[in-house]
Structure 1
């Protein structure tokens, strides 16, 4: 009898969980919006959630199947989200009628230190005030000064590669896991430009900044599980008082910034990094930002830049080894730039003048956009209409919106042969033909990425030094097809980003 009761209880629990998992799946049917049938628990992202394909591929394929609808329903796990497929409607949502969609959705619900103070989490007027405070930090003039700090890190990275070249068994070509290499570079650059800390992760890979940083970027399955649980079942996550991040490691970053600010104020030290710029912005702002709010911007800067910037360099290098004629043309521009510098150091302004380099990076960002989608939340009732005034959808306060960046970038109506790597799409003549709001690698409107200049100058600066000294070729462990082999939320292959570097004579 007891066994039967246990079985019935388990069956009842299983049924409860199942019906909970599909409890939101009638949303779009009730609101008369087209959608694809979702899977229990996983919605429309089952394949990527189960590690079968990458999220980039999943979202691109969903977009291509539904692009005939200007607006379509999409389920991210259990969450119903309204996807906007039409460029003109994207402009409405992100720019023209921004006041109806001013905020991002809260990906995680937690009261952990710093997380609710980050600019991407801030809402409404609080976000606007922080955006106004941060905007002067990322001007071209500030980037010029910050680039000098980057140059030191580039130099240390090249010294490391030259050492590997001398020590290679063949004495010439050598294989490198580019992801590991550029993770160290990205960490060092963030340490010096955002946290005022001088480290060399090539000489000292066990340094505390790199070690703590690595532990905070969802590098373990358990961390990723906690993040997913906080998004899927926030009440359960809060009930068990779970934390996404290790509090002691978060406190480490807080101490870095707060101690640096205190020391600089006491001793009158100035340095062209983000801490200094934030200190100056705080003084000029009428808002009395707390130390935690200042540190939080450095913290999100770390998260936004660490993995994304190293991925962008790796993926560009991967495309260059698969397209040797493009690599050779870029190398010729780099050689011409080096000759024009006449022995001087690379500068921000010099990097900006490298037109083919810019075309290459733009095409990488099109084909392999760092964020496959962006989101918005409806803040007040809104009726979305097309250009002829026809009603498409009635938004309610709290409705979630997604903009399918990867899908738009992979749409052959806007970018013929979208899986072909072709920097010429961004030459002076053809880039003017790009339909507005079909190429948005850093988002669109006031909520677009504020640090896009920083990301691009880091990638361009490192590529300049790398290609000036080495030719990039495939190694035995280079992945054959990243589009097919990438899994889940990251474009980084599980096997690593291995490539062969051939020293130039």
Structure 2
């Protein structure tokens, strides 16, 4: 009996092993080279233990093959993926061959039943749905509309300064948590700009908005487990869908949206003209034109909110790199002070013309990109070259991984890549030049470039003006001395957090 049981157990283990590895010949059959995958994890050895960020595993593969091939075949658990090695091919994926790589992989993981908000976000929409939604949203994020809410940026920056002054009267020994500070800033900024409401994030009694926003971006373990499971069993994507926005958070924002709509309509009914033509004004006009209910209006509005909160990570990284480099901090401070008006504000048009400010922000984006990589879907078969290897065909439905981090940390493109060197972006149109080379895609590129990019950049530049003209920023010893990423996050976050010391300037 014991022998039979042992044989059955071994047989089951053998069948499970075959199941987990049978797909490992996918790329070999298509004559695409690549590293040997491992059972359970494929080419992501830290998929389960989360001891190392996955982008470092991709960078190891990139470093091994970058001078040999344009792309290699890898596996997420047992799911085949194409890892782009060549920046030129990456550029083709995003721009010149866009129609072959039109959609993002996350589109397979959400639908309106599982997550109404995320399913209606342009990032996860596909085909004509994406085109229509982007056409609806883009006019709401023009530079003209961003300019109309620029005074809000100044108000929120002043609130941040007042809050910081209170904090540094009795500064904590571990410094000020930059993530908490940036979350307060973006909560107040985006809520006011988009909805015309106050989050009171810098007060002693903030509204529930900040807490819900914090929960929205808190990456739960169920989120991580889902990605692991669908990598192991891709068919699960047809059965179980991802809920990025929890139902209680969705309900909160639907109610918040209704509150904002009612408040605006009451103002108009009372004959009061709202003082600015903001994003809510645009959304209400769009809703009237398309006969949208509150839930659909909320889905449209959440696009502004979700894109706006990319600023949180960017804000952290800018503050960190400048706190480490006092010389660059002082140089930037001098540039800013040369353009301050009598109220201590830099004009909106001038803000976007300051070369060293822009260079510092772009260099921060290079070191701490909002997205380490992009997972695109092949939507039409296409034949690609492979340097010293044979040409191959990417089939429809294939996941194509573009590792932005690898390009931006490559010595060949950015010498001494871990160092903060804003001068890399001081040449005219340097960011555009790097983007056209395919080595700098902090916000993506091509038709699906992040639509909230300009809004996010305006926010962070406004915040830097306020911080650097009012304070001297230093890194607290509690912060790591390297740039190692937190392995449990998808958005660039320094492991252990970012802790800063602020000194009020005289």
Asked if the contact 1:226/1:244 (under 8 Å) is kept, the reply is: no
2:445 is the counterpart of 1:440: no
2:281 is the counterpart of 1:280: no
Shift of 1:222: 4.1
2:165 is the counterpart of 1:162: yes
Asked if the contact 1:482/1:493 (under 8 Å) is kept, the reply is: yes
**Who is 1:217 aligned against?**
217
Normalising to structure 1: TM-score of the pair?
A: 0.88
What secondary structure, in the 3-state scheme, does the structure 2 residue paired with 1:441 have?
A: coil
Aligned ranges 1:466-477 → 2 under 5 Å: 466-477=467-478
Q: 2:337 aligns with which of 330, 335, 338?
A: 335
What secondary structure, in the 3-state scheme, does the structure 1 residue paired with 2:149 have?
A: helix
**Who is 2:70 aligned against?**
70
Asked if the contact 2:77/2:228 (under 8 Å) is kept, the reply is: no
Shift of 1:353: 2.2
Normalising to structure 2: TM-score of the pair?
A: 0.87
**Who is 1:27 aligned against?**
26
State the alpha-carbon separation in 2 of the partners of residues 175 and 364 from structure 1: 21
Aligned ranges 1:229-378 → 2 under 5 Å: 229=229, 233=233, 243=243, 245-265=245-265, 267-268=267-268, 270=274, 271-282=276-287, 291-306=294-309, 308-338=310-340, 341-343=341-343, 345-378=345-378
Q: 1:347 to 1:47 in 2, by over 3 A?
A: farther
Residues 89-98 or 310-319, more deviating: 89-98
State the alpha-carbon separation in 1 of the partners of residues 296 and 369 from structure 2: 29
Return structure 1 stretches of 4+ with deviation > 6 angstroms. 3-9
**Who is 1:175 aligned against?**
175
State the alpha-carbon separation in 2 of the partners of residues 137 and 168 from structure 1: 40
Asked if the contact 1:109/1:230 (under 8 Å) is kept, the reply is: no
Asked if the contact 2:121/2:303 (under 8 Å) is kept, the reply is: yes
State the alpha-carbon separation in 2 of the partners of residues 93 and 236 from structure 1: 27
Q: 1:386 to 1:18 in 2, by over 3 A?
A: closer
State the alpha-carbon separation in 1 of the partners of residues 36 and 307 from structure 2: 33
State the alpha-carbon separation in 1 of the partners of residues 493 and 386 from structure 2: 38
Shift of 1:114: 2.0
Asked if the contact 1:188/1:198 (under 8 Å) is kept, the reply is: yes
State the alpha-carbon separation in 1 of the partners of residues 262 and 13 from structure 2: 55
Shift of 1:220: 3.7
In structure 1, runs of 5+ residues without a counterpart are none
What secondary structure, in the 3-state scheme, does the structure 2 residue paired with 1:166 have?
A: coil
State the alpha-carbon separation in 1 of the partners of residues 17 and 487 from structure 2: 26
Shift of 1:50: 2.6
**Who is 2:94 aligned against?**
94
**Who is 1:478 aligned against?**
479
Residues 120-129 or 271-280, more deviating: 271-280
**Who is 2:135 aligned against?**
132
State the alpha-carbon separation in 1 of the partners of residues 482 and 438 from structure 2: 28
State the alpha-carbon separation in 2 of the partners of residues 450 and 463 from structure 1: 22
Residues 357-366 or 250-259, more deviating: 250-259
Shift of 1:267: 4.5
2:405 is the counterpart of 1:403: no
Asked if the contact 1:54/1:486 (under 8 Å) is kept, the reply is: yes
Q: 1:473 to 1:377 in 2, by over 3 A?
A: same
Residues 87-96 or 350-359, more deviating: 87-96
State the alpha-carbon separation in 1 of the partners of residues 280 and 4 from structure 2: 62
State the alpha-carbon separation in 1 of the partners of residues 128 and 241 from structure 2: 30
Instruction: Deviation per CA, 1:392-423: give whole Å up to 9, x if none.
Output: 22122212212221111112222222222111
Aligned residues between the structures: 494
Q: 1:461 to 1:7 in 2, by over 3 A?
A: farther
Shift of 1:103: 1.1
State the alpha-carbon separation in 2 of the partners of residues 386 and 234 from structure 1: 27
Asked if the contact 1:367/1:409 (under 8 Å) is kept, the reply is: yes
Shift of 1:477: 0.8
Asked if the contact 1:61/1:407 (under 8 Å) is kept, the reply is: no
Instruction: Deviation per CA, 1:52-76: give whole Å up to 9, x if none.
Output: 2223433333322221211211323
Q: 1:114 aligns with which of 114, 117, 131?
A: 117
In structure 2, runs of 5+ residues without a counterpart are none
Asked if the contact 1:118/1:300 (under 8 Å) is kept, the reply is: yes
What secondary structure, in the 3-state scheme, does the structure 2 residue paired with 1:260 have?
A: helix
Instruction: Deviation per CA, 1:78-111: give whole Å up to 9, x if none.
Output: 3322122223323332222222221111362453
Asked if the contact 1:54/1:491 (under 8 Å) is kept, the reply is: no
What secondary structure, in the 3-state scheme, does the structure 2 residue paired with 1:480 have?
A: coil
**Who is 1:419 aligned against?**
418
